Amino acid sequence: MTTSMFCAGVFFLIGLAIMASGWITYRKSGQAADWIAAPGTVITSEVIHSIGGKLSFSAHIVYQYTALGRRHTSSHVTIAELMGIFDTGKDEAMAKVKKYPAQSTVTVYYDPQDPQRAVLQKNGDASLFYLGGIFMAFTIAIWLLG
């Protein structure tokens, strides 16, 4: 096995993992279609960064809402974040902070079975699925050229 074929195999596995993650995120967003909308208020809205191995950025949006007569607090903007998948790009983080400034009124979507699970955007994002497809296309190109 050549080095290029080994690398292609690694890229294939990475692409497959990214596509699977994207597909799961997209499917979970479909489950959120029945979530209940409630008014909420953004408490904190800021870009935070960390320097652990590499510089990464994320939007830290904290909001409060009332569900089933109880006040809740959440920091998940998207279904992907609810699953533990966070953006690390500065532009994405800044766009979220701009869209959800502190003290603004927002629509919160919460799970009626578990009102602590809430997001501000319940629509799915298929970008991870497409990114995985790009990795897999790259793998096929290496196999065909190698």
Asked whether residue 39 carries a pLDDT value surpassing 80, the answer given is yes
List the structure tokens of 49: 């960064």
Give the alpha-carbon dihedral of 68, 73, 76, 82, to 10 degrees.
-60
In tens, the pLDDT along 55-101 reads 778 889 999 999 989 999 999 998 777 666 666 678 888 999 999 99
Quick check: 70 and 125 in contact, CB under 8 A?
Answer: no
Mean pLDDT value across residues 125-131: 60
Q: How is the chain split into domains, by residue range?
A: 1-33+123-146, 36-121
Integer Cα distance of 3 and 133 in angstroms: 22
Mean pLDDT value across residues 12-39: 72
The whole-chain average pLDDT of the chain stands at 80
Band the pLDDT of 145: cuts 50, 70, 90: confident
